[in-house]
Amino acid sequence: MSAAFSEWLASRQLVLRQLSADLIPQYLRYRLRHLQPSGGDAAALKHFLEFLRSQDAIPAEKITARRETSAERCVRTYEQYLQEARGLSQATIINYIPFVRSFLEECFGSRAIIWSQLRARDVMSFVERQARCLHSKRSKLLTTALRSFLRYAQFSGKVKLDLGAAVPVVPHWTMTTVPRAIPVEKIRQLLNSIDRSTAVGRRDYAIVLVLARLGLRASEVVFLELDDIDWNAGQMRIRGKAGQRGDLPLPADVGNAIAAYLRNGRPQSASRRVFLRARAPIRGFRGASSVGSIIRHRLQRAGIDAPTHGAHQFRHGLACELLRRGASLGEIGELLGHQSPETTRIYAKVDLEALRTLALPWPGGVR
């Protein structure tokens, strides 16, 4: 690739110091017409230029500062408020911010925010449009986030009216679904399909094992830090919902998988997060959706037909397996970090043997 690129530069009488990212699309078009292109050409060229810059062979890329929009500035200020004044967990903030950003961009775009123009009908219309595309639990999160933001806007003097009261209530009935749990045999199949000879494979194997054996939420995996693991005591400190913290025993197979990734897979980084991105910028995952993407990719690659494509099915799978082995709902709720027994009650719906003992016989016998 580098040799062909050098020949192309020479044919255009360009010297090394004239190299810039702007030339990449031009070369790729040439390569598409005259050479055998590859899907990784663009990434390879980008890494090649980064290497040349690191060696001072070509000038550093000029970064043009983009002006922050009024909506972006408002979202940043609101995020600081949630962290400093409200003390919300990072996982909650990550869930709130996209809804608030979408609301402001839909109402004002890149223009300056004129708060006096905001009306209750704008709020209701936004919620109605968004709710059509979301399931009930996500819709409830949308209304909670938007109500929080609008009350912050009133509290900070941006708006005079209580627009938070205009956020409609989205119906959400509990206990209406059965947990979509991934079976044990499919978890085993997924783990066996992961190539642990690569750094990414060791990372993904450890993530799947943590999800399956400890029943962690995706967000808890994301925010797991190196200091949260007590190797001597065999314990792991979990950062749960609403800032709650608790210790879980560290099973030997989970500990071995994490240790293998830390020794021979985790990139060098100032970040204290256990699991890091494999590509630059090297840092912790942005949010729970990153873990969901890893699970979706691994399931598709292994050809496994799972109940869902997300990470939460492992949490459900652990609960159902523990219930099958005789654990009580109270014990399961304690392990999963449920704040209310009502949350754990849904797993009673999958204990078919226990439910059969409660079922009344059909009058007149079986038909």
306-357 residue pLDDT tens: 777 788 788 877 777 776 766 665 656 556 654 555 555 555 555 544 444 4
Q: How far is CA 245 from the centre of its chain?
A: 20
272-290 residue pLDDT tens: 999 999 988 899 998 888 8
> In the structure, what pLDDT confidence band is assigned to residue 75 with cuts at 50, 70 and 90?
very high
Kindly compute the dihedral angle of the four CA atoms of residues 297, 285, 254, 327, in this order, to the nearest 10 degrees. Answer: -80
Measure the CA–CA gap between 130 and 119, rounded to whole angstroms: 17
Average pLDDT, the chain: 81
Is 338 known to be catalytic? yes
Q: Give the pLDDT mean for 35-41.
A: 60
pLDDT value for 367: 44
Is 347 known to be catalytic? yes
How far from 171 is each of 139, 168, 347, CA to CA, in Å? 9, 10, 22
pLDDT value for 366: 47
Whether residue 255 is predicted with pLDDT greater than 90 in this model: the reply is yes
The larger pLDDT score, comparing residue 239 to residue 176, is at 239
Give phi and psi for 337, each to the nearest 5: 75, 30
pLDDT value for 53: 77
For residue 132, give both structure tokens.
């059509």
Choose, from 147, 202, 316, 338, the residue flagged as catalytic: 338
Choose, from 202, 203, 312, 316, the residue flagged as catalytic: 312
pLDDT over 90 for what percent of the chain? 39
pLDDT value for 252: 92
Choose, from 241, 277, 296, 345, the residue flagged as catalytic: 241
CATH T-level topology, domain 70-166? DNA polymerase; domain 1 (1.10.150)
pLDDT value for 350: 52
Domain residue ranges of the chain, discontinuous segments joined by +: 2-54, 70-166, 184-353
CATH number of 184-353: 1.10.443.10
Choose, from 347, 349, 356, 367, the residue flagged as catalytic: 347
| 70-166 and 184-353 agree in CATH topology | no
Choose, from 196, 217, 298, 316, the residue flagged as catalytic: 217
3 state SS of 316: helix
Find all residues with CB under 8 Å of 191, minimum gap 6, and list them: 205, 208, 209, 212
Whole-prediction pTM: 0.56
Least confident of 246-250, 293-297, 330-334: 330-334
Q: Give the pLDDT mean for 244-269.
A: 90
Least confident of 63-72, 91-100, 183-192: 63-72
The larger pLDDT score, comparing residue 27 to residue 101, is at 101
Query: Are the beta carbons of 331 and 215 closer than 8 angstroms?
Result: no
Neighbours of 31 (CB within 10 A): 19
